[in-house]
Chain A
Amino acid sequence: MTAPIIEVRDLVKQYPATTAVAGVSFGVSEGICFGLLGPNGAGKTTTVEIMEGILPPTSGEVRYRGEPIGARFREHAGILFQKTALQDFLTVRQSIALFRGLYAHGLAVEEVIRLCALEKLAGRDTRKLSGGQQQRLLLAIALVNDPTLLFLDEPTTGLDPQARRNFWELVQSIKAQRKTIILTTHYMEEAELLCDEIVIMDRGRIVAQGPPKRLLHEHFAEVLLELPRQEFPERARQLPLNILDASDRVEISTHDLEGTLRTLLEAKVPLNNLRIRPANLEDLFLELTGTELRP
């Protein structure tokens, strides 16, 4: 394995009333898309902001290419925050030019505009952009210095499905340039589509780490049966089944599909709305933490 482009060692972030990050360590290989997954309060944004050099850690360290993060890191990193306001009264092109002026090296403003499909919006006031357009602009700003390392902190939260898919296409095109991407997200579909490797965090700690497929294979040799919660009688909970509770449904994990179906039929559980599917990252999180991975 090659040396990680960025490495986190024993990271702790303590606030007066809470521990946001409780001793986290991982490394990110160059050229991959690395996902940090977890619900609100899991510590993923705090971890990422420490990695970005925005927040100081209570203890532990972050190393970029083997060195503590500093001026060189800022020149090489591109960042898309979860929430960012831009300067008022500037157009898309002027906003990109402002940030381009802050870096010694980078892409031409027009090239960034083209990369992020902002040509038709270049002269528009940034306050008049839709949510999806705003995220494309923020991605363009994150790319002005032609970064080797790109942080995307929940980049598609709040976007409609079409805008989200457009954004994913953009990220995939950036990924194809062998840039390293660190992505935090609530959306499992997003993580499964984009990430080569993930870390699942809960309550400030890492609960699983590795490539998504490998993690799923390790934790789920089974299939999942889904039933609406309201159609699942309380007495059926006494059955000898591996039952997982989700918000609006009950999930049953099993190696023996036929046997499980027979058990449910004998218990007179209605199966009209039964759905059978392979496990995904959300199931993995449910399995590991007992809670749902929700925004």
Chain B
Amino acid sequence: MIRRLLSVLHARNLEFLRDRGTLVFTLLLPVTLVLGMGFVFGGPERPLFKVGVLAEQVNRQAHPFLQERYIDFIAQPQESAALHKLTHQQLDLLVDLRPAPRYWVNTDSPKGYIVEKLLLAAAPDARRQPVNGAALRYVDWLFPGILGMNMMFSCLFGVGYVVLRYRKSGFLKRLHATPLSAFEFLSAQVLSRLALILFVTAVLYGGIGALIGFHNSGSILLLALLAVTGALSMIALGLTIAARFSSEELVGGLLNILTWPMMLLSGIWFSLEGSPRWVQWVAHLFPLTHVLDGARAVMLDGAGLAQIAPNLMFLAATAFAFLAFGAWSFRWRIE
């Protein structure tokens, strides 16, 4: 079995590496993503401080500090919510300028350090209350989503159309006349695509990291484990679609039906917190949601294996289930 699997795997890898158009496209996509993200998120930020003011609204005449230029004063009705933002450096300073003024500063924030000096010049008697916490930028939150989206497209379309092409050309029919089983054939396709996806994801991770830097509080090995199980699950999902159909239009349509809801509901671009319960329930049926939830937990909150175990188990179980279903429903030839 291993020998047969390796033969198909080797041939598929050769085919992919020699298909220069596809190879260039596959490698160009992550490079474009890296450059795009560098352009959008890597440029110099505006010289603007964000200071939260504990009040229903900001009256700039109420205190000399509130008249400083180049500072964006933002009203913060709730102290707890404001402190959370300060912890993640979404605010540079939080002030309460009512009688007996006080302020909170994130001691890990360089901007907080500077804007604190400006405050003390205007209100030397203000009472200091330090907090700490690293900055959470949108790019840090978005980064796992970009990796996941690239992985999803490569998994679903890369494998689905290859199998479809093999079936239409009669190559699958020829393989069917050999001792090769459907499970062996599909496993070889999965492993070939998995190796490619891991390589591309590693390039993206390293490239974006080098270009703009990003926040990772957790283990890179856990991220790799998530990438492997997530890619396996999504490749196997692509194979179930391509397992028996022979029409490009049908397979393309089915793959789009899968990818678009995942694009919108898996949390690539924005958090689903606060969305209706049924939306969250549907989102958790998608492998990509579990990849992103797990990756963000590891990267942003430093989650360990125990915390992301449910995501890993979901991905592993769906990978096996999709592969088994694909092998069961597989058609070697056009019916």
> Using a CB–CB distance below 8 Å, which chain A residues touch chain B?
52-54, 71, 74-75, 77, 79, 81, 83-90, 94-95, 97-104, 141
Using known A-B contacts A53-B177, A74-B178, determine if residue A81 contacts B170 with beta carbons closer than 8 Å: yes
A102 to B17, alpha carbons, bound, how many Å? 22
In B117-173, which residues have CB < 8 Å from any A CB?
166, 169-171, 173
A89 to B4, alpha carbons, bound, how many Å? 20
Interchain CB contact under 8 A, A89 and B15: yes
A81 to B178, alpha carbons, bound, how many Å? 13
Interchain CB contact under 8 A, B177 and A97: no
Interchain CB contact under 8 A, B179 and A71: yes
Interchain CB contact under 8 A, B19 and A102: no
A98 to B175, alpha carbons, bound, how many Å? 10
Residue among A53, A71, A75, A101 facing the most chain B CB atoms (10 A cut-off)? A101
Known contacts A89-B15, A94-B14, A101-B8; can you find 16 more A-B pairs with CB under 8 A?
A: A54-B176, A54-B332, A54-B333, A75-B179, A84-B171, A85-B171, A85-B174, A87-B12, A88-B15, A89-B14, A89-B18, A98-B8, A101-B4, A103-B178, A104-B3, A141-B174
Residue of B nearest to A78 (CB): B177
A83 to B170, alpha carbons, bound, how many Å? 7
Q: Flag whether B11 is at the interface (Cβ < 8 A).
A: yes
A52 to B178, alpha carbons, bound, how many Å? 10
Interchain CB contact under 8 A, B15 and A87: yes
| 23 A–B contacts, CB within 8 A, in A order | A54-B176, A74-B178, A74-B179, A77-B177, A79-B177, A81-B173, A83-B170, A84-B173, A85-B171, A87-B11, A88-B19, A89-B18, A89-B19, A94-B14, A98-B8, A98-B10, A99-B7, A99-B178, A100-B7, A101-B10, A102-B4, A103-B179, A104-B3
Interchain CB contact under 8 A, B180 and A90: no
Q: Flag whether B115 is at the interface (Cβ < 8 A).
A: no
A99 to B7, alpha carbons, bound, how many Å? 8
Q: Please pick, from A75, A77, A94, A103, the residue contacting B11 in the complex, using a CB distance under 8 A.
A: A94
On chain B, the residues within 8 Å of A87 by CB distance are 11-12, 15, 166, 171
Q: Tell me, rounded to whole Å, the shortest Cβ–Cβ distance linking B2 to chain A.
A: 10
A185 to B314, alpha carbons, bound, how many Å? 54
Q: Flag whether B6 is at the interface (Cβ < 8 A).
A: yes
Q: Please pick, from A83, A90, A102, the residue contacting B179 in the complex, using a CB distance under 8 A.
A: A102
Q: Tell me, rounded to whole Å, the shortest Cβ–Cβ distance linking B126 to chain A.
A: 71
On chain B, the residues within 8 Å of A103 by CB distance are 178-179
Q: Tell me, rounded to whole Å, the shortest Cβ–Cβ distance linking A295 to chain B.
A: 19
On chain A, the residues within 8 Å of B12 by CB distance are 87
A74 to B4, alpha carbons, bound, how many Å? 14
Q: Please pick, from A74, A83, A88, A95, the residue contacting B177 in the complex, using a CB distance under 8 A.
A: A74
A132 to B279, alpha carbons, bound, how many Å? 59
> Which 6 A-B pairs have CB atoms at the shortest separation, nearest pair first?
A101-B7, A85-B169, A89-B18, A98-B11, A102-B178, A79-B177
Using known A-B contacts A81-B170, A84-B171, determine if residue A104 contacts B176 with beta carbons closer than 8 Å: no
Interchain CB contact under 8 A, A102 and B171: no
Using known A-B contacts A87-B15, A88-B15, determine if residue A54 contacts B171 with beta carbons closer than 8 Å: no
On chain A, the residues within 8 Å of B170 by CB distance are 81, 83-85
A271 to B180, alpha carbons, bound, how many Å? 61
Q: Is the interface of A mostly helix, strand, loop or mixed?
A: loop
On chain A, the residues within 8 Å of B166 by CB distance are 87
A100 to B10, alpha carbons, bound, how many Å? 13
Using known A-B contacts A89-B18, A102-B178, A103-B178, determine if residue A54 contacts B173 with beta carbons closer than 8 Å: yes
Q: Tell me, rounded to whole Å, the shortest Cβ–Cβ distance linking B5 to chain A.
A: 9
On chain A, the residues within 8 Å of B18 by CB distance are 88-89
In B309-335, which residues have CB < 8 Å from any A CB?
332-333
Residue among B175, B179, B332 facing the most chain A CB atoms (10 A cut-off)? B179
On chain A, the residues within 8 Å of B180 by CB distance are 102
Q: Tell me, rounded to whole Å, the shortest Cβ–Cβ distance linking A128 to chain B.
A: 13
Q: Tell me, rounded to whole Å, the shortest Cβ–Cβ distance linking A193 to chain B.
A: 26
Interchain CB contact under 8 A, A86 and B171: yes
Interchain CB contact under 8 A, B14 and A90: yes
On chain B, the residues within 8 Å of A141 by CB distance are 174
A97 to B176, alpha carbons, bound, how many Å? 17
Residue of B nearest to A71 (CB): B179
Residue of B nearest to A52 (CB): B177
On chain A, the residues within 8 Å of B10 by CB distance are 98, 101
Interchain CB contact under 8 A, A101 and B6: yes
A74 to B12, alpha carbons, bound, how many Å? 22
In B1-58, which residues have CB < 8 Å from any A CB?
3-4, 6-8, 10-12, 14-15, 17-19
On chain B, the residues within 8 Å of A102 by CB distance are 4, 7-8, 175, 178-180
Q: Tell me, rounded to whole Å, the shortest Cβ–Cβ distance linking A34 to chain B.
A: 18
On chain A, the residues within 8 Å of B169 by CB distance are 85
A83 to B334, alpha carbons, bound, how many Å? 13
Residue of B nearest to A102 (CB): B178
Interchain CB contact under 8 A, B173 and A97: no
Q: Tell me, rounded to whole Å, the shortest Cβ–Cβ distance linking A143 to chain B.
A: 13
A95 to B166, alpha carbons, bound, how many Å? 14
Q: Tell me, rounded to whole Å, the shortest Cβ–Cβ distance linking A125 to chain B.
A: 8
Q: Tell me, rounded to whole Å, the shortest Cβ–Cβ distance linking B21 to chain A.
A: 11
A79 to B18, alpha carbons, bound, how many Å? 28
A83 to B168, alpha carbons, bound, how many Å? 11
A87 to B12, alpha carbons, bound, how many Å? 8
A269 to B174, alpha carbons, bound, how many Å? 54
A84 to B173, alpha carbons, bound, how many Å? 8
Interchain CB contact under 8 A, B7 and A97: yes
Residue of A nearest to B332 (CB): A54
On chain B, the residues within 8 Å of A85 by CB distance are 169-171, 174
A97 to B179, alpha carbons, bound, how many Å? 15
Residue among B166, B170, B176, B177 facing the most chain A CB atoms (10 A cut-off)? B177
